Structure 1
Amino acid sequence: MTIAPSRDTTLCISLAGRPGTFGVRFHNHLYQQLGLDYYYKAMTTEDLPAAVAGIRALGIRGCGVSMPYKEACMALVDEIDPSAAAIESVNTLVNTQGRLKAYNTDYLAVRQLLEQHGLDPQTAFALRGSGGMAKAVASALRDAGFNQGLIVARNEQAGRQLADVCGYAWQPELGDLCPPMLINVTPIGMAGGADAQALAFPHAAVAAAERVFDVVALPVRTPLVQLAEKLGKPVITGLEVIALQALEQFVLYTGIRPTPEQVESAVAYAREG
């Protein structure tokens, strides 16, 4: 059943530097399955304060926040949930009668994935990245008991700061190190980007790794994931992250938790886009 938007439709949006279609298709598919008078639209902006003010003023119920806005949103809301406050990074805004509360469902999704995949907290890892999503992943690892970590980031200030906050080491490049788990939390391998065909880690490191985790969701099979699969390594994909975080956003926006079957259908539909 398709529900046509009306003057009473509740609007939810996303803000991203490069808007994608996954969230749009995922949320709208669930709205239709559940018969909810909601509509979701992806947007971008060059004026974040004005955009957030518009969310408040226009009664937009929820907003997904992606790169490069995750940290800048912190100063623009009324309340910050512990999931976002602990890592100073936002990916979800919920508007309740003009009052904006910020969350980080990326953090919640990664915590769930670590449990679902049964990862041993004693596993040493290297995480490449130092932005808002990297903060979410590194903090989720820290809070799950992973204490043997290395932050790999060319931005020394951001990299050192993230490493210090989480109790990990930092260095600008991986070099000859070959840790058991490799985690990419940069745009390397993202479709349409300058590094779409690049590997986030050296071939030798991937060959030596026991597991590879790539947070990039588009494409699902990034060059890093393809290489890991070719070498027979277990992988965690960005699709898993984006699906879980989108589900938690949906619950925050609507107050309804869909069934696993409904979520599976929405993910499959979103992937077709």
Structure 2
Amino acid sequence: MEKVFGLLGHPVGHSMSPLIHNNAFLKLGIEARYHAFDVKPEFVKEAIDGIRALNISGCNVTVPHKIAVMDFLDEINDEALQIGAVNTIVNKDGKLIGYNTDGRGYVKSLLDETEEDIREKSVLIIGAGGGARGVVTALLRHGVGNIEFTNRTIEKTIPLVKLAKEFHVPSATIEKEVAEENLINYDVIINTTSVGMSPNIHHSPLSLKLLKTDTIVSDLIYNPLETKLLQEAKERGGKTVNGIGMFVNQAALSFEHWTGVKPDITQMKKNVLQQLGGTTC
């Protein structure tokens, strides 16, 4: 009998998750189908009940439900608890277990694409939302030299500073203008906000006028493939990393949680790039 997997989010019409997961099932000969389920916030509990009732084998969870679903799961693994959000649900014989693969997927893509050791590097995080929490947790678990945070609402960075202290990693909150004046202090700059995402492609979360050469500048956004932030970084001699690697790697980790099988990450990336009209590498 064909297994069913899905995505819980609102809206979900733009998602490329069905494309990459269904292709992976097909390539591996797994009898399964992945669907995108548009779930309004007031129906999250009913959606989780539906996973049980319909014996759906597993789901991804995207905005705005990554926190809300936690109240209705049977178990949440330590990493997801630390992040405070779930992006992957596994139905294990009727027991719903929550995981978060976002941060691990991001760090893997950062290491793969830059081929650099970041354990002693100084990192600047732009943003303090759910995306930042996942990335920061994974970076702290991996190890970094120190980490600073800037956000439009400074108060929202306080939980991230506390999280860094738990790992005994030096951290601080810094105003955007101060960060822009002291870019020489950072080896890695990561945008976790939606600023610069299509259709607002002419916006950037930070000015890079004082960027030092070879700084790694990473953007979780993958549409467009090269945001204004990354364009400016490239012009100033920075190393750039877009959000495709994170998207594909977190999806692959979810797939592995569900099936116990590693999908072809290169093929997943090709599918996404083809859909976005980029090069297939």
User: TM-score, normalized by length of structure 1?
Assistant: 0.87
- Distance of 2:18 and 2:194 partners within structure 1: 21
Contact 1:62/1:94 (8 A) holds in 2 = yes
Structure 1 residue 152, shift from structure 2 partner: 1.1
The corresponding residue for 1:129 is 127
Distance 1:231 1:17 in 2: 37
Partner Cα distance (2:10, 2:193) in 1: 14
Is 2:85 aligned against 1:82?
A: no
Report what 1:4 is aligned to. Answer: none
Aligned to 2:189: 182
Is residue 55 of structure 2 the alignment partner of residue 59 of structure 1? yes
1:99 and 2:101 matched: no
CA contact (8 A) 2:248 2:268 kept: no
Aligned-partner residue type, residue 16 of structure 1: G
Amino acid at match of 2:173: W
Aligned mates of 2:44, 2:201 — CA distance in 1: 27
| Shift in Å, 1:61 | 1.3
2:20 is matched with 26
Local SS of the residue matching 2:222: coil
Which of 236, 239, 252 is 2:241 aligned to?
236
Amino acid at match of 1:40: Y
Please give the alpha-carbon distance, in whole angstroms, between the structure 2 residues aligned to 1:243 and 1:205.
32
Quick check: 2:189–2:218 contact (8 Å CA) kept in 1? yes
Match of 2:174 among 154, 171, 181: 171
- Read off the aligned partner of 1:182 and give its amino acid letter: I
Corresponding residue for 1:108? 104
Indicate the residue corresponding to 2:279 in structure 1: none
Alignment correspondent of 1:5: none
User: Displacement of 1:94 after TM fit?
Assistant: 0.9
Which residue pairs with 2:265 in the alignment?
A: 263
CA contact 1:15–1:42 (8 Å) conserved in 2: yes
2:64 is the alignment partner of 1:71: no
| Aligned counterpart in structure 1 of residue 202 of structure 2, from 192, 197, 220 | 197
2:257 paired residue number? 252
AA at the equivalent of 2:260: G
The TM-score, its normalising length taken from structure 2, stands at: 0.85
The structure-2 alpha-carbon separation of the partners of 1:225 and 1:18, relative to structure 1 and needing over 3 Å to count, comes to: farther
Quick one: which amino acid aligns to residue 91 of structure 1? N
The answer to whether the Cα contact below 8 Å between 2:126 and 2:149 also exists between their aligned partners in 1 is: yes
Q: Secondary structure at the match of 2:125?
A: strand
Map Cα deviations across residues 210-242 of structure 1 (whole Å, 9 max, x no partner): 110111122222222222223331122210111
What is the alpha-carbon distance in structure 1 between the residues aligned to residue 240 and residue 149 of structure 2?
19
Query: 2:66–2:86: 8 Å Cα contact kept in structure 1?
Result: yes
Shift of 1:246: 0.7
Change (3 A) 1:217 1:43: farther
Query: How many angstroms does 1:38 deviate by?
Result: 0.8
Q: Answer whether contact 1:152 1:174 (CA < 8 A) is retained.
A: no
Paired positions, count:
261
Q: Sort the Cα spacing of 1:200 and 1:209 in 2 relative to 1 into closer, same or farther, 3 A.
A: farther
Percent identity of paired positions between Structure 1 and Structure 2: 26
Residue 145 of structure 1: CA displacement? 2.0
Cα RMSD (Å):
2.0
Q: Helix, strand or coil for the counterpart of 1:101?
A: strand
CA shift digits 1:56-108 (9 cap, x unpaired): 22111111112222222222211111221222121111112321101111122
In 2, the alpha carbon distance for the partners of 1:182 and 1:83 equals 23
Could you list the per-position Cα deviations for residues 149-168 of structure 1 after superposition, in whole angstroms to 9, with x for gaps in the alignment? Answer: 11112233421111222232
> SS at the partner of 2:176?
coil
Aligned CA distance change for structure 1 residues 109 and 205 (closer, same or farther; 3 Å): farther
Cα offset for 1:114?
4.5
Question: CA 1:109–1:190 in structure 2 vs 1: closer, same or farther (change >3 Å)?
Answer: same
Name the CA distance, whole Å, in 1 between partners of 2:192 and 2:210: 16
Report if the CA contact (8 A) 1:22-1:271 is conserved: no
